[in-house]
Structure formats: structure tokens, C-alpha cells
Structure 1
Amino acid sequence: MTKKMSLGLVFGGASSEYEVSLLSVTSVLNQIDREKYDIHRIGITKDGAMFYYTGEDSRIAENKWQGEGCVPCVLSPDRTHHGILVLEGTPRVIRLDCVFPVLHGKNGEDGTIQGLLTMAGIPFVGCGTLASAACMDKVTTHTMLDKAGVLGAKWRSVTQHEYARDNDAFLNEVEHALGYPCFVKPANAGSSVGITKAHDRAELTDAMTLALSHDSKVIVEEMITGLEVECAVLGNEEPIASCIGEIAPSNEFYDYNAKYLDGKSVTYIPARIGEKESEEIRRIAAHAYTIMGCRGFSRVDFFLCENGEILLNEINTIPGFTSISMYPQLFIESGIPYSELIDRLIGYAME
């Protein structure tokens, strides 16, 4: 009998996307092949406390996992441990062959846990430390892709220190270079958290205050009119791109509420676009994935403009993995079932 792989699934996190992680990891637990993996669930609270969880899977999605069935633990950076230390009585080591960080947003998708796992010498699913951090930071992503000739929206950025020193100068520059409406975003945040569509100076000023409450750096982008489309990418040195999905957001833009709460946004898989446009989006997605140094998986989001221009919006290195999330749905449509997708991701991690 083949020995099962010891797999750590990390969920939750000190992030504004904590609740989404709970749904994503529940879907992974429901779909993963239990004959192949000895699963160890590691939960992180919103306060950053880490626990080894032995309770029912169903309690995770309901956010009732904390308490009974939880024992404090730490992901050890000591390579001789190669896993977690469970802090119950005499600490004991659980060795992990691989870790799947099913985390979204800050402290999960930004290179932090990836750096810890790299120190520990434990293979993990998804992008490494540098690619995770670079893709999480929208200013860094724009800078790298602009340099490589990948088209995106016009943008301007400012740090909290620079804005406090002369906010009028930055607001004037935005109005001159980008005009209204424009989108104000924290440079480092996921799932459209802290994003505002500003229509005038007053809204722009309020939007800056909101964005700076989420991050010390802000990016402002021009308004793009076009279809919102997405492509899932899978692999390491020779990534493959899925079919294209299209989003018709329920709100004025595809914000956190439209993505996860109101359930009214409509997705089309495959997207209602021509084959020529689909192939070009797939090509750019794989190209951008390679430029940014991505591995394992990422979802690449675009705007398809009325004039046919394709503009890259952002790259998500740990995209939503719920049963209705775009990433798994795109590969299901492309012929890779959810459970096989998990196997492939773990295989790419072990490479």
C-alpha cells in the first residue's frame, strides 16, 4: 500500500479575507482525495494565533472551528522539524511533506508565510516569496509589467508619508493624468477591500483616507470601460492557461460585496468573446505569470475594451478556491476536475 503524503492545510489568517479562506479550505477538504493524503488542518485566527485543528470540517465554513478540537501550534522554521510543533504538554512534532496555504490577502498571499515555509524547507503550493510579494503589491506589479510591455491601466501611486507632506500635489496630478472617474486602491490588499470609485475631488480625498487605512501605499488607476475577464494559469516552468471567464458585477464594480456577499454577480464560463480575443488573453496571462516569477497557480484578471485592447488588471497568487470560485471553475470547464486540480498543485509544489 502506498504511503499517504502528510499534507498541511493552512486556513483563516490575520487578513480582511479570513472568511473567504474558510470557504476555500472547506471546498478543498470536500474535494481532496483522502486515500492519497494524511491531512493536518492548521487554523490561524484573525489575531494571528495558530492552532492544530482536529474538529469537524463543517465547523470551519461556519467559523465555529475555534475552541474544542484546537491545540496551539507553530509552523517551525527549524528544518529538522520539517513541520509543526503541537504545544500540548510536551511539544510534539508533526512532520509535513507539503503545505497548501489556503489563505487570501495579507499574511497569506503576500510572501510572508511563503518565506516561513522556505526557511522550514517544506514544499508548498503556489508562488514563492518574491512572486507572492510582487503580485500582492499593485505598484510593483504595474512597474514590472509596464517594463515588460504588458498593457494595463494608467496609474499613479503615493506613500502615506508623501501624501501627508503634500496631498494637494498628488490630487492635482491624479486629476491631470487620470481624470474622473478613477479607482483608488490600497497597494496591498485583496478582494477589492478598501477600493473606491471616485467621481470628483471630494470623493477622491475620502477614498485616499480609506485606502490609507488599509495600507501605507496607495495606487490610483484610470477608469477602464470594458468587459471584466479572467484566466486561470497552472504550472511551473511551462504554465498552461485555462479558458476565459467573464464577470458581470452586481455592483458598480466587482467589489468584496459583489464577489462574496450579495450573490447577484453573474459569471459566464466560457466568456462571451471571440476565439481570437480568448487566445490572446491566454497568451498574455501565461506571459505575465512567467514575468512575475509565478509558480503553481494564479488567476490573471483583465479588461477587454470596446476597441479590442486587452489591459491586465491584476494577478492573484492564491485565488478563491470555493466551489463557485472562478479559478477552479475555469479549469473544470477546461477539462481538469477539482480533485485533479488539487493533485496537480501538490505535484507542482513537490517539483
Structure 2
Amino acid sequence: MLKERIRIGILMGGQSAEREVSLASGCNLVEILDRTKYEVFPIEVGEDSKWYLHHIDAPLLNSRSAIGREVPTGKSYTPPAAQHSELVTARVMRSRIDVLFLALHGPGGEDGTIQGFLETLAIPYVGSGVLASALTMDKVRCKVFLRASGLPTPEWVSFSRSEWLAGSADLVEEVLDRFPGGCVIKPNDQGSSVGMSVLGPAEDPTAAIQEALGFSGEILVERRIHGREFTCGVYGSEMPEALPVTEIRSTRTFFDYEAKYQPGGAEEITPAEIEDSLAAEIQSLAVRAHGVFGCAGITRTDFLLDESGPTILEINTIPGMTRMSLIPRACVAAGIEFETILDRVIGEALFRDQLVPAAG
């Protein structure tokens, strides 16, 4: 039996390269959730892996959690002060909350790790489950699954750090031969374009591969598509619905970390200025991807469009929830209160066992 207000924990922070983005997403959720419906518990996963329950007037929640222009590296970590937070464990929080809203980004947050941990403790959570999270975060396996499901995705090759060390010259030759028109190089398990490079025709991929391998033990090399970039949000487990399509016009070479989180980094047009039939096709592909992976909560699927049509780049199972993020802005364009969607996915998380997930 639920209490008068739903007790909801917002889990944010973590140890990934997207920590700043996660904190900004979490703090925004803490701010906008309706206090007449929810009793909110802001929980930071520290870089020391400990859980800190912040008081509602804590500095973290009032700092507006600025996101830097570059991926933070090598910064020292200072745990929150005792007067502003309480050191807790997941087992302790299980008795104090009804549901967790996952705002963790990157490895440890979107890859099924935290989801599996919460499953073992029987703590309900908002978002996709273990399998969907693991498959979509692993870019190589995600593309294999997309292809097997009949969904379009660009051609690719992948290799590990050990394969690179054993035969880098052969791999460089293979990349140049396979992708004469240029390629995109990504770490296999990062988000927010962390460690990603976009190369032109015949451009030496060595430095980009080494950069990507600095973030992951496996990398994805994908055919570069010269076309327009779109993204589409989907929400819900049972009968999921698509939000309006957004076109992204980056002011940089591509929609990188800075372009995503700094003002003026990209022009984001919602709804996209495209034919209704194309918008419907992109929305249909996004809903299908959401369904075939068995996703829940809110997802965002990224696309590129060329003369052959839209093709799926990846599916994000915990998209950004910052003030600048695409999902909240798409809700505005659709005439839907973002809080209404949050209410729906929180309710679905609480009663997940009674829902019938949509098939792709």
C-alpha cells in the first residue's frame, strides 16, 4: 500500500565520464517533481561508490550543477559534508522509498549494472531493465541486435584493445579500406559522445582509435553518413508513445559533448521541419527499437538521414533530463507537460509486474 505521497529516490552522480551530466539531470528532476505527489530523496552515488542522501537544502541541489565544456578527467573528489547529507546504503533506502528514478549516465548506470543490483534488492526503479540496458549500452551488440531485428543501422567493424595492440597496422588498413568515405570511431560503452571522433575520407584513424580505447576496451568503427541528424523520444512500457522528432544542427563538426551541453552548441528544431511521412517513419522506428529491446521508462533513439532513408545510430535508455536536454524540450513541442510523462513512467515502475510490455 502506497503512502499519501509516493516516496521517490533520485539516483545520480556515479563514477563515469558523464557524472556532471548525471548530477545536472538528477538535480533538475528533484526540482520539477510535484511535491504534492512525491516525497523526494536526492541520492548521490559518489566517486567513492558510496551513497549520499542529500538534504533538500544541500549545496548540490542549489548549485544548478553546471556541466563543463569538456569531459572531466583527473579531478579530485570531495564527499559531501556531513551537515548536508547522510551516508546510506541501498538496503537502508529500500525501507524509506517506494521507487527509484535512475538518472545515472554511462557505465554503471545505463549498462544493466545498477539495474541488476536493484533487482536483487527488490527495489522498483524507473527505466529499462537489465537486458535492455546492457544491450543498448554495448554499441556493438546493440547494432547486431538492430540488424537481426530488421532495423536499419550503418555498416561497422569493431575490435578490442588487445587486437589493436597485436595488429594496429592491419586494423588501420582495414578501416581505410572498409570506409573510404570516412568513419566514426566510438568507445563501445560510453554516452554523450565521450571519446568519439568523426573522420573524413582517407584520414588516418590511429589517433582517434587510441583516444577511444582510452575510454573502453573495445571500440566501434562505423561508416560515416553525410546527412541530417535527428532524434526521437519514446515513453512508456505498455503501448509506448513517440514524442515529436527533433532535428539537430550542430555548430561543430558533429554533435559532441560540448555541443550537447553548452548553450549555442547546436540548433535543435522541434518538431523537425520535415515531411509528415518522414516524421512518422522516424517515430515508428523509434517505437519499434524501444519495443524490440524491451525498454521501459523513457528512451531516445538517434538517427542519421541520407538518400537511402533514416538509419539508427543508437538507443539511449537513460537520456539526459537537464534543462537543456532534448526530451523535456520535445514535450513542450508536443504540448505535453514533462511532469505528466514523469508521472506515467513512475507509475509504470511501481506496477511493472502488472504491465504487458510492447513488442517491437
TM-score (norm 2): 0.88
2:88 pairs, out of 54, 60, 73, with 73
Secondary structure in structure 2 of the residue aligned to 1:221:
strand
Contact 1:4 1:36 in 2 (8 A): yes
Distance 1:331 1:234, change over 3 A: same
Tell me the amino acid that sits aligned with residue 130 of structure 1: L
Tell me the amino acid that sits aligned with residue 222 of structure 1: R
How far the C-alpha of 1:60 sits from its partner, in A, is 6.0
Secondary structure in structure 2 of the residue aligned to 1:152:
coil
Distance 1:196 1:131, change over 3 A: same
Distance 1:26 1:215, change over 3 A: same
Match of 1:318 in 2: 318
52-61 vs 63-72, greater mean Cα deviation: 63-72
Provide the rounded CA distance (Å) in 1 between the counterparts of 2:318 and 2:231.
Answer: 14
Match of 1:235 in 2: 236
31-40 vs 258-267, greater mean Cα deviation: 258-267
Match of 1:215 in 2: 216
Distance 1:207 1:226, change over 3 A: same
Provide the rounded CA distance (Å) in 1 between the counterparts of 2:320 and 2:154.
Answer: 24
Provide the rounded CA distance (Å) in 1 between the counterparts of 2:324 and 2:200.
Answer: 32
How far the C-alpha of 1:66 sits from its partner, in A, is 2.1
Provide the rounded CA distance (Å) in 1 between the counterparts of 2:346 and 2:264.
Answer: 31
How far the C-alpha of 1:2 sits from its partner, in A, is 6.3
Provide the rounded CA distance (Å) in 2 between the counterparts of 1:209 and 1:332.
Answer: 40
Match of 1:29 in 2: 30
Q: What is the alpha-carbon root mean square deviation over aligned residues?
A: 2.0
Tell me the amino acid that sits aligned with residue 107 of structure 1: G
How far the C-alpha of 1:59 sits from its partner, in A, is 3.5
Provide the rounded CA distance (Å) in 1 between the counterparts of 2:7 and 2:263.
Answer: 37
How far the C-alpha of 1:203 sits from its partner, in A, is 3.8
How far the C-alpha of 1:200 sits from its partner, in A, is 6.5
Provide the rounded CA distance (Å) in 2 between the counterparts of 1:7 and 1:326.
Answer: 23
How far the C-alpha of 1:263 sits from its partner, in A, is 2.9
Match of 1:18 in 2: 19
Provide the rounded CA distance (Å) in 1 between the counterparts of 2:188 and 2:136.
Answer: 10
Match of 1:61 in 2: 65
User: How do residues 186-197 of structure 1 correspond to structure 2 at under 5 angstroms?
Assistant: 186-197=187-198
Alpha-carbon deviations, 1:209-250, whole Å to 9, x = none?
A: 111110000000111011111110011132111110111011
166-175 vs 215-224, greater mean Cα deviation: 166-175
Provide the rounded CA distance (Å) in 2 between the counterparts of 1:329 and 1:110.
Answer: 25
Provide the rounded CA distance (Å) in 2 between the counterparts of 1:123 and 1:172.
Answer: 48
Secondary structure in structure 1 of the residue aligned to 2:340:
helix
Secondary structure in structure 1 of the residue aligned to 2:214:
helix
How far the C-alpha of 1:202 sits from its partner, in A, is 6.7
56-65 vs 200-209, greater mean Cα deviation: 56-65
Provide the rounded CA distance (Å) in 2 between the counterparts of 1:297 and 1:313.
Answer: 17
Tell me the amino acid that sits aligned with residue 59 of structure 1: S
Match of 2:289 in 1: 288
Runs of 4 or more consecutive aligned structure 1 residues displaced over 6 Å after TM superposition: none
Contact 1:182 1:197 in 2 (8 A): yes
Tell me the amino acid that sits aligned with residue 80 of structure 2: Q
49-58 vs 120-129, greater mean Cα deviation: 49-58
Tell me the amino acid that sits aligned with residue 58 of structure 1: N
Match of 1:95 in 2: 96
Q: Where does the alignment leave 5 or more consecutive residues of structure 2 unmatched?
A: 68-77, 352-360
Provide the rounded CA distance (Å) in 1 between the counterparts of 2:11 and 2:290.
Answer: 24
Tell me the amino acid that sits aligned with residue 70 of structure 1: S
Percentage of matched positions with identical amino acids: 34
Q: Where does the alignment leave 5 or more consecutive residues of structure 1 unmatched?
A: 85-93
Provide the rounded CA distance (Å) in 1 between the counterparts of 2:220 and 2:141.
Answer: 10
Provide the rounded CA distance (Å) in 2 between the counterparts of 1:136 and 1:119.
Answer: 21
Distance 1:195 1:326, change over 3 A: same
Provide the rounded CA distance (Å) in 2 between the counterparts of 1:18 and 1:169.
Answer: 36
Match of 1:336 in 2: 336
How far the C-alpha of 1:331 sits from its partner, in A, is 2.3
Contact 1:156 1:221 in 2 (8 A): yes
Contact 1:59 1:65 in 2 (8 A): no
TM-score (norm 1): 0.91
Secondary structure in structure 2 of the residue aligned to 1:166:
helix
Tell me the amino acid that sits aligned with residue 7 of structure 2: S
Alpha-carbon deviations, 1:305-335, whole Å to 9, x = none?
A: 1x25111111000001112211121123223
Secondary structure in structure 2 of the residue aligned to 1:179:
coil
Match of 2:267 in 1: 266
